[in-house]
Amino acid sequence: MRLLTHNMLSSNIKGVTNGFPLRIEAEKVVEKTVEMNADFLKKMFEKIQWKAFIDASRAMGYTELPEEVDPTTLESDEFLSKFHHALLELHLEEGALVCPETGRRFPVNKGIPNMLLHEDEV
């Protein structure tokens, strides 16, 4: 699972009101290189929740992203390549996503989060 997916997803347990972002427990992270698309990154930057994204990238062991960003940051190629790497090249292979409100763990195996709910959580 890439951090882009993580940034889109909330905890889905019944009754949870602040289910975003899911906390990441990383046991194994893999890197897979893909071509960079600057226009796509600029578009995604508008949609990404930055704070959640930085915290997630740190949980994955990547600490290169700046805390503060503004629209001019997007003009920097160096920034874009770091953003690209964290957003699309890091994959959570083994670990868990944890609901920030209830602490419920959703395991991630072979890169696939298991978000199936128990009967009393639907």
Partner 1 sequence: MKLKQLESLLGDLQQFSQPKIELEQYPTGPHITSRMLYTAENSFGDVSNKVVADFGCGCGTLGVAAALLSAEHVVGIDIDPESLEIAALNAEELELYLDFIQSNVMDLEWRGQIFDTVVMNPPFGTRQKGVDMDFLHVALKVASQAVYSLHKTSTRDHVKRVAMRDFNAASAEVLCELRYDVPKLYKFHKKKEVDIAVDLWRFVPASH
Q: Minimum CB separation from partner 1 for residue 21, in Å? A: 9
Q: Is residue 70 packed enough to be buried (19+ CB in 10 Å), middle (13-18) or exposed (0-12)?
A: exposed
Q: Is 2 in the site for partner 1 (CB under 8 A)?
A: yes
Structural contact between residues 16 and 99, judged by C-beta atoms closer than 8 angstroms: yes
38 sits near partner 1 (criterion: CB under 8 A): no
Question: For the CA atoms of the chain, what is the radius of gyration?
Answer: 15
Distance CA 36, CA 40 (A): 9
Q: Do the bridges between strand 90-98 and strand 23-31 make them parallel or antiparallel, or are there none, so unpaired?
A: antiparallel
Which residue in 4, 26, 29, 98 binds partner 1 (CB under 8 A)?
4
Binding segment (CB under 8 A) for partner 1, from list 40-48, 55-63, 69-77: 40-48
Instruction: Supply the DSSP symbol for 78.
Output: H
Separation between Cα atoms, residue 74 and residue 71, nearest integer Å? 6
Residue 102 within binding range of partner 1, rule CB under 8 A: no
Q: Which is nearer to partner 1, 49 or 102 (CB)?
A: 49
Taking contact as CB under 8 A, which single stretch among the options 59-67, 68-76, 110-118 is the one that binds partner 1?
Answer: 110-118
Query: Maximum CA pair distance of the chain?
Result: 48
Instruction: Give whichever of 72 and 115 is closer to partner 1, judged by the CB atom.
Output: 115
Name the residues that contact partner 1, by CB under 8 A. 1-2, 4-5, 7-12, 19-20, 32, 34, 37, 39-40, 44, 47, 49, 88, 91, 110-117, 122
